[in-house]
Amino acid sequence: MMDRSRPVKAEKPDVRVGGTDRSCILLLWDVDHTLIENGGVSKEIYAAAFALLAGRPAVHPAQTDGRTDTEIMRTMLARHGLEDFPIELVRLGEVLTQAAAGKRDALRRRGYVLPGVVAVLTTLEKHHPEVVQSVLTGNVQPVALVKLEAFGLDGYIDFVVGGFGSDGTVRADLVGVAQRKAAAKYGVPFDRSTTVLLGDTPRDVRAGRQGGAYVVGVATGANSAQELIAEGADEVLPDLRDTAAVVSAILGVRRDPGIVSQG
């Protein structure tokens, strides 16, 4: 298995670009409720980060639902009457990272990997080396790493080329961020014809459609398959248990007649 969890590592093999060969696909996984369930620990991370920032305990819980960490913390501060509290992104990243590190053991005890995830990750790793697996998440990068490390999933993910809450405050913009990082690393241009976003919320679907990705919705969170379809997902799955169906949905970006390559 290729270690994609650290900035310095070997390049991905068998990625060829020349003429019409655009075989490489950038797959951007959502994290919470798509790859893992956090058992309520995620909101505890925000509460701990709030206490570190504001110097007092949180009374109102974080409202997450696919928002970026900056959005979540701003809303949380406002609900506590701190609308004008200055949020410096570096400091926000520091307190979130500290809070997540302190909840690592709780995450292992109470959270779990969603059914089918390991089989899909492994199948893509072994049989589809042209798929670069990364994440698109509202979490800042160190928090996303803590969450996936807790369950041994970090080795499947290229954290260098993902889109994180530390890259911007608007989720849709993170698609382009990830595409540019991946293009710089692998020497392959990525656009909607070669980028897949896989997530469980309408915010994920909107981010993919607005940001320039083929969207696979999965109804493993609070939203139904019908809601994800209504939001405009290109394909929707009930869960990730059927490995062949998930892989087929991901590779569906190649079959979509509505996609025209920009390369």
pLDDT in tens, 76-86: 999 999 988 88
β-strands 36-37, 112-113: how paired? antiparallel
Question: Do 3 and 152 form a contact (C-beta atoms < 8 A)?
Answer: no
Minimum mean pLDDT among 16-30, 81-95, 233-247: which range?
A: 16-30
pLDDT score, position 13:
41
pLDDT in tens, 92-106: 899 999 999 999 999
* The residue type at 132: V
User: 10 Å Cβ neighbour count for 152?
Assistant: 10
Q: Which of the residue ranges 14-28, 105-119, 160-174, 181-195 would you say has the lowest mean pLDDT?
A: 14-28
Whether residue 221 has pLDDT greater than 90: yes
**Scanning the structure block, which residue is given the tokens 């998440």?**
137
User: Could you give the percent of the chain with pLDDT greater than 90?
Assistant: 79
Lowest mean pLDDT across 14-18, 29-33, 75-79: 14-18
Q: Tokens 């609070």 appear where?
A: 222
Q: How confident is the model at residue 259 (pLDDT cuts 50, 70, 90)?
A: low
- Written as six digits, the tokens of 102 are 């302190």
Q: What's the Rg (C-alpha) of the chain?
A: 18
Instruction: Report which of 230, 174, 225 is spatially closest to residue 26, judged by C-alpha positions.
Output: 174
Q: What is the DSSP letter of 66?
A: T
